[in-house]
Amino acid sequence: MKIDIEAYNEHYHQSGKFIDNWQEGIKLLPFNSNPTSAYDKNCGLHGITGEFFRLWDNDGTKPIEDFDISAVRPVTDYLCNQKQMPVAQVKQFILMMKDIMYINGNLNISDSAFLKYLPLMPNDERISVKDRKKYSDGQRKLSNYLYSMLPDDMQNSGNKTIPNLFSKILQEALSSFCGSRDDIKAREYVILPFIKKSFEEDLKWMLKQEESVKVKYLHLFLHFYCCYAIMQTIVMLNSKKHDKPSSPAPFYYILNSEKASVNHEAVIRGWSHQIPKNSLDKLYGKSQALDILNSVLGGNVGFYSDVIEKLNETNFEENRDLCNELLKLYQDEKYKVISRRISEVDSFEKREIDVNSYDEFISTLEMLCTGLQSKSYISRMRKKVIDVMSVRFLQSRRGNYVLVLDNEMLTFLVALFTKSKKTKLEDMYKLFNSYGIHFNRGSRLAIEDYLLKLNLLDRKSDSGEAQYVTVIL
């Protein structure tokens, strides 16, 4: 395929001027360098769940952000005008509804049919209006990221039976609060195939669980998959260019209750091993290089291995001049932008461009994109990754970032991976490994001790060595 310089000009120029765009040819990560978008511990996990189900159902549902306006009024109107319920009884129903659904100023969900009404942000006066806008934007990006994990033909097959009369009345009343259905939304982000496959299987299992389980754990489920996909995508961006993503990279974890010495596997073979600081510093540049390659090849080609495969369909000599032209164009335009900021260009020297292979073309483009990126982008991108991961999985221990599982997340993941079936302990660890989660011997002993205390681990016989775990949510 011929390299399309015009596609580069279209995506990276505005009114004839170069603009430092990102994710124009392929969308891989649910954030960007823009400081007006953020996600951290202040957001909570519920907002993403609500937005994810609104995207999936696509029935015009609006979040309940003001309980009186968005819930009390439509329910009152429905009961008075459509059901002709006496005013006194309507008032009693509204009081009951508030007791059940509105706790400490926030929406409380009693069954999964109402998850789509969850607002993006909790009602917390400590969060400024400016920050609420930033967090709302960050949550929408993560929700779209999760929505992209769904296969196009997967329908929301959750339990649609309405559990009681109270919920039925609310469902009927709140349906009038819905807006118009949007056009079918595209899956914007490119998701690693092995993640997309397991997400579909695991979500189907989650939606078959009891209502109380879905309401309690779907937030953890979606947050786990968001972090899992981000980690593995970053690893792929840093991997050898010809590698095909077929299985997750291994990360060592510890339990929240454990201590992590400098020699612990969670330190030397965990987060900092697979995603070292310098790789996060180059994240914007590497992503932009891949984005440009996807742009000039028609868009959404994939990771570097897919790009190389696509390029090799055309003899290099047919694309040589175009490869060199693109590299020179980017170097000149980006250098001109960066050179306005003296402190940001002092470590970069312009080079003569003359590449002799596709591999050299790709490595040169990546070198230019990482070498000519703004220093502010480095810190912003690194912070956004750390902020998302630190909500539940990443902690700093004595200056080292380590991946951790708290008791709630551990219990949930055991149930999810084993599908609540009686499973040999060794097989359970293999299932964790299939998601890229590994433990050393000390962490395994801590896990087994925790499961024993909860009476979730048993032996086949008094003398047998085989141990089985059963976790039913």
Q: Using one digit for the tens of pLDDT, what is the confidence trace for 233-291?
A: 999 998 877 778 789 999 999 999 999 889 999 999 999 999 998 889 999 999 999 99
What is the reported pTM?
A: 0.93
User: For the segment 295-308, what is each residue's pLDDT rounded down to a tens digit?
Assistant: 999 999 999 999 99
The mean predicted confidence, pLDDT, of the chain is 90
Distance (Å, rounded) from C-alpha 450 to C-alpha 52?
33
Predicted confidence (pLDDT) per residue in 196-207, tens digit = 999 999 999 999
| Beta carbons of 312 and 254 less than 8 angstroms apart | no
Predicted pLDDT of residue 176: 62
Environment class of 349 (CB within 10 Å of its CB; exposed 0-12, middle 13-18, buried 19+): exposed
Q: In which region does residue 23 sit, left (phi positive, over 0), alpha (psi from -120 to 50) or beta (all else)?
A: left
342: pLDDT strictly greater than 60: no
State the pLDDT at residue 344. Answer: 58
Residue 168, CB-side half-sphere exposure with 13 Å CA sphere: 5
Which of 127, 120, 159, 160 minimizes the C-alpha distance to 143? 120
Mean pLDDT of 341-353: 70
According to DSSP, residue 385 is labeled H
Q: What are phi and psi of 213, to 5 degrees?
A: -70, -45
Q: Please report the pLDDT score of residue 298 as a whole number.
A: 93
Residue 183 pLDDT > 70, yes or no? Answer: no
Query: pLDDT grade, residue 177 (50/70/90)?
Result: low
| Structure confidence at residue 375 (pLDDT) | 81
Query: Is residue 461's pLDDT more than 60?
Result: no
More confident residue, 349 or 143: 143
Q: Is the model's pLDDT at 156 over the cut of 90?
A: no
Name, in order, each residue with C-beta under 8 angstroms of 60's C-beta and a sequence gap of 6 or more: 178, 179, 180, 181, 182
Interhelix angle 283-296/358-371, rounded to 10 degrees, is 130
| pLDDT of the residue at 186 | 79
pLDDT, tens digit, 9 for 90 and up, residues 111-123:
888 999 999 988 8
pLDDT of residue 137: 95
H runs (alpha helix) in 282-424:
283-296, 304-311, 316-338, 342-345, 358-371, 375-390, 407-418
**Which is nearest to 416 in space by CA: 144, 163, 223, 154?**
223
* 348, 351, 354, 355: CA torsion to nearest 10: -20
Per DSSP bridges, beta strands 467-469 and 423-424 are: antiparallel
Give dist(CA 65, CA 44) in Å, integer: 15
pLDDT, one tens digit per residue, over 17-43 is 999 888 888 999 999 888 889 999 998
- Give the dihedral sign, CA 359/364/367/369: negative
Residues 69-111 have pLDDT tens digits of: 989 999 999 999 988 999 999 999 999 999 989 988 889 988 8
| Amino acid present at 416 | L
Q: What is the mean pLDDT of residues 350-371?
A: 93
Q: How distant is the alpha carbon of residue 262 from its chain centre?
A: 29
Q: Indicate the SS3 state at residue 220.
A: helix
What is the pLDDT confidence band of residue 153, given thresholds at 50, 70 and 90?
A: confident
CA–CA separation, 233 vs 220, rounded Å? 20
Question: Where do we find the tokens 């483009």?
Answer: 365
Are 47 and 139 a contacting pair, CB within 8 Å? yes
Q: Give residue 179's pLDDT.
A: 62
Partners of 396 in the β-ladder? 401
